[in-house]
Amino acid sequence: MAYQPFNLTGKVSLVTGGNRGIGLGMAEALAQSGSDIVIWGSNAERNLQAEGKLTSYGVRVLAQTVNVADEAQVVAAMAEAVIAMGRVDTVIANAGIGGGARSFSEMTTETWRRVMGVNMEGVFWTLREACKHIVERSKAGDPGGSLIGIASLAAIEGAARNEAYAATKGGVISMMKSIAVEHARYGVRANAILPGWIATDMTAGAQDNSAFAEKVIPRVPARRWGQPADFGGVAVYLASDASSYHSGDTFVIDGGYSIF
């Protein structure tokens, strides 16, 4: 019999911020590997477009309009997803926003709280609700699950003028390790992914900046911007049984930028 851990048929994967960028890149690879998909996004029109694309891979797709910075919306959406899809196996807390300042001294409390609301509280509420479902399912005799937090190189490198963003991403790494230890007994693993420079709407300004193109991208050993599709492999691996003993880790996907 062939070794086929990357066939995700029968599994359900939920990706927050799954209607574009890195989240959609991961959702597409998961769908192409047979996983049913739930995507959350705050923009209903973009959700619809992504839903159409994902459905074309022949899997069940549920697109929910959810603001992850709103606890009640997250609680309701997770419960609805479990009912609609029957279960959730993999949850990727990917929705995130940038939020820098001209300098740390000038960073406003409004910026700090806005970034914390999506990148930290949003991840907390998403994963807490996922754990409630998975622990309950596990206690009913059906264990297992994979939780993934999307952090950033900003968590481990000094991201000047981005202290709020960096703090949330460092927080994601720490949260995943705590979740990993606490939930291993339920067959759950929890890991963080740290993207490098990826060409998405979030980095549109940097992509259009000639100084950035001259000074930063040549320092990426892979000599190019990362693409959303570059996150398909790690998403499928972490959603699959191939990673059943891999937990509490950080996956740096940056074309070698951080080690050059």
Shortest Å distance, C-beta 39 to ligand NAI: 8
Shortest Å distance, C-beta 67 to ligand NAI: 4
257 part of the active site: no
Active-site pick, 3, 165, 186, 257: 165
Site residues (vs ligand NAI, CB under 6 A): 16-17, 19-23, 40-43, 66-69, 94-97, 118, 122, 150, 152, 195, 197-198, 200-203
Among residues 145 and 226, whose Cβ is nearest to ligand NAI?
A: 226
- Give me the torsion for CA of 199, 257, 118, 240, rounded to 10°: 90
Among residues 94 and 146, whose Cβ is nearest to ligand NAI?
A: 94
Residue 143, phi then psi, degrees to nearest 5: -80, 170
Shortest Å distance, C-beta 10 to ligand NAI: 26
End-to-end CA distance of the chain: 42
Among residues 7 and 67, whose Cβ is nearest to ligand NAI?
A: 67
Among residues 107 and 115, whose Cβ is nearest to ligand NAI?
A: 115
Beta bridge partners of 26: none
Q: Which of 242, 217, 219 is nearest to 6 (CA)?
A: 242
Shortest Å distance, C-beta 56 to ligand NAI: 19
Greatest Cα-to-Cα distance within the chain, rounded to the nearest angstrom: 62
Q: Which residues are catalytic?
A: 165
